[in-house]
Amino acid sequence: MAEALSRKGAGASLAAASPSAITTAEPVSEHPPALRTPSAPEDSQTRVSTSEPAVTGQPRQLPANLAELREAACKCADCALSAKRKNVVFGVGSEHPDVLFIGEAPGEQEDVQGEPFVGRAGQLLDRMLDASGWSRDSVYIMNVVKCRPPGNRDPKPGEVRACSRWFDAQWDLLQPRVVCLLGRVAAQRVLGTEASLSSLRGRWHEYRGVPVWVTYHPAYLLRTPTGKAAVWQDLRVLAERVQSLRAPVSGG
């Protein structure tokens, strides 16, 4: 089951729509960035480790904004994935989003275009967002790992650790109201568990002070359309939580 769940002004329209609004069709595209690490040593661009990289966790120095962080991440060579990438796939969307959606790692199309979720799974994600009253611009979309694993295999633990300094800094700079983890790899990385996705779904978690919800990866939905109803429910829960966090606190 775990394998099956792996990759391969919000909510206004949610009540009126239905899971069938999340259809399974086609196209999308975009552009890449370019960049350098303020914190990494000068020779880091050529340092490509083939074994497990050191756990870094945090950038040695936190860039002050997302643009600087992107620039630094795009020069990263902290793991072997950097050697074969066409682009670092950093993230896209609002700089202070209501919802931060997190997938696993770039696939072929994402590697070429430098933007997360632009392949078939991404097109389904776009329709899910649309059906929920969101868009690519109103939320933020990123991955656990910023460079494409060969053959779209799962990222290795060392690759996930190597990317953690970008991941956590990005999370902290974005300050999302809520986070939605798409699929097993994102759920296990953020929640620090090997539990199955289905056991993590259906309740709130927390990471770095932010409420976190887990749902199925859009690629799973492409293979298993019956999962759409569950995802639909998850989107409603997210929208309701965003609304409640926005609501003014009544007092006096």
Which residues contribute to the site for ligand URA (CB under 6 A)? 7, 103-107, 110, 116-117, 119, 121-122, 143, 219
Residue 140, strand partner residues: 93, 100
Q: Residue 38 CB: number of other CB atoms within 10 A?
A: 14
Q: CA-to-CA distance for 129 and 147, rounded, in angstroms?
A: 24
Q: Which is nearer to ligand URA, 11 or 228 (CB)?
A: 228
Q: Which is nearer to ligand URA, 122 or 227 (CB)?
A: 122
Q: CA-to-CA distance for 95 and 142, rounded, in angstroms?
A: 12
- Least CB distance from residue 208 to ligand URA, whole Å? 20
Q: Which residue is nearest to ligand URA (CB)?
A: 103
- Least CB distance from residue 103 to ligand URA, whole Å? 3
CB neighbour list of residue 2: distance below 8 Å, 6 or more residues apart: 184, 196, 197
Helix (H) or strand (E) holding 179: strand 178-182
Q: CA-to-CA distance for 133 and 143, rounded, in angstroms?
A: 22
- Least CB distance from residue 210 to ligand URA, whole Å? 20
Residues 182, 217 contacting (CB under 8 angstroms):
yes
User: How many CA atoms, within 13 angstroms, populate the side-chain half-sphere of residue 47?
Assistant: 13
- Least CB distance from residue 106 to ligand URA, whole Å? 5
Q: Which is nearer to ligand URA, 63 or 103 (CB)?
A: 103
Q: CA-to-CA distance for 216 and 247, rounded, in angstroms?
A: 28
- Least CB distance from residue 107 to ligand URA, whole Å? 5
Q: Which is nearer to ligand URA, 155 or 158 (CB)?
A: 155
Q: Which is nearer to ligand URA, 103 or 158 (CB)?
A: 103
Q: CA-to-CA distance for 23 and 184, rounded, in angstroms?
A: 22
- Least CB distance from residue 228 to ligand URA, whole Å? 17
Q: CA-to-CA distance for 147 and 169, rounded, in angstroms?
A: 17
Q: Which is nearer to ligand URA, 28 or 230 (CB)?
A: 28
